[in-house]
Amino acid sequence: MQLSKYISDLLYRYECVIVPNFGGFVSNTIPSKRNIENHQFTPPTKTISFNINLQKNDGLLVNHIAKSLNISFDKAAAMVQDTVENWQTSLQKNPLLLNNIGQFTLENEQLVFEPLNKINYLTSSFGLSDLNADYILRNNIVTPKTEVKRSYGKYFASAAVIVGLFFASSVYVQEQINQQEIVAQQAVTNQIQQASFNILKPLPAVTLTVEKEVVEEITYKYHIIAGAFKAPENAVKKVDLLKEKGFKASIIGLNKWGLTQVSYASFNDKRDAINTLNTIRKKDNKHAWLFINE
């Protein structure tokens, strides 16, 4: 199985993709910047790093594979585990290259990751390339007075070209700055997690009428998802059941398939959210997962 393909697909939409029992690929957004040495403006980009300590299965990768191949969650998890074991065996002899992601090598029994950086995983920068600003700087050279003997028509034509080039560069730079605001807006859509582990086929979007007092406004960043329901009344029953068990359960709204999501609890602190998630997986629901509301 080409596991790297599924990892690459998810890196466009999520900040972290964990390969169970191997490690996590973490994306970092770098804003637009100017290279003074070669006089170039680079668009915003999203680079990839690797954290070997992120090995706990959060369900994101396995669930994505299960839906893509139309197989069960357990079968997808077994396929991922087999691939990881093959990776670990291969690394004992040769470097491991993951297409469009990076290369792994073992140095003194330590796993070293080198990203390829050939692909910009920031979707808002799609189609943008480096802008060479050399011509702007050269046109700032002052011409000696003895050489300025030309018609007014040529003078104004040259000035118009310079102003036009400068204006185009300024628009591009401003466009790069605006990308940050665009990223913030798109992240809300791009980082919606999968609905539930037992849903193997995406459902068409539907319009649901939910009583206003049932849905709580999302004010927290981290939510431990207990499940997603097509019928709002089933979501309410799930909340009541979790509250009877002592959880601070709530409905956090609809996902992109129109399903009502129920949370065990919500947090603003990532460490508290992860600790609580691990406890819930051990004591109540091994398929609970963490939703990050950007």
> Over the stretch 127-180, which tens digit does the pLDDT of each residue have?
556 666 655 545 555 555 544 444 445 555 555 545 454 445 454 545 554 555
Q: 177 or 25: which carries more pLDDT confidence?
A: 25
User: Are residue 264 and residue 154 in the same domain, yes or no?
Assistant: no
Q: Are residues 184 and 229 in the same domain?
A: no
Instruction: Quickly state the pLDDT bin for 247 (edges 50, 70, 90).
Output: very high
Average of pLDDT values for 237-252?
93
Q: Distance between CA 123 and CA 106 in Å, rounded?
A: 32
- In this structure, are 132 and 235 located in the same domain? no
50 CB neighbour count, 10 Å cutoff: 19
Are 239 and 172 within one domain? no
Question: What totals of helices (H) and strands (E) does the chain contain, helices first?
Answer: 7, 13
Q: Summarize pLDDT for 249-261 with one digit per residue, the tens.
A: 999 988 888 899 9
* Residue that terminates a domain, selected from 173, 191, 209: 191
Choose among 46, 43, 44: nearest CA to 25: 46
Answer for the pair 34, 96: CB distance below 8 angstroms, yes or no. no
Domain shared by 14 and 106, yes or no: yes
* 152 and 26 inside one domain: yes
Asked whether 41 and 133 are in contact (CB, 8 A), the reply is: yes
Residues 20 and 85 in one domain: yes
Q: Are residues 240 and 177 both part of a single domain?
A: no
In a domain, 148, yes or no: yes
Pair (178, 96) in one structural domain: yes
User: Mean pLDDT over residues 272-289, rounded?
Assistant: 91
Q: Do 232 and 151 lie in a common domain?
A: no
Domain of 47 in residue numbering reads as 1-191
Q: Phi first, then psi: what are they for 78, rounded to 5°? A: -65, -35
Q: How far apart are CA 98 and CA 8, in angstroms?
A: 9
Q: Are 269 and 163 within one domain?
A: no
For residue 199, being part of any structural domain is answered with no
Q: Are residues 173 and 237 in the same domain?
A: no
The CATH number of whichever domain residue 228 belongs to comes to 3.30.70.1070
Domain boundary among 136, 169, 191: 191
Q: Domain ends where: 174, 191, 208?
A: 191
Instruction: Report how many domains make up the chain.
Output: 2
Contact status, residue 25 vs residue 100, Cβ threshold 8 Å: no
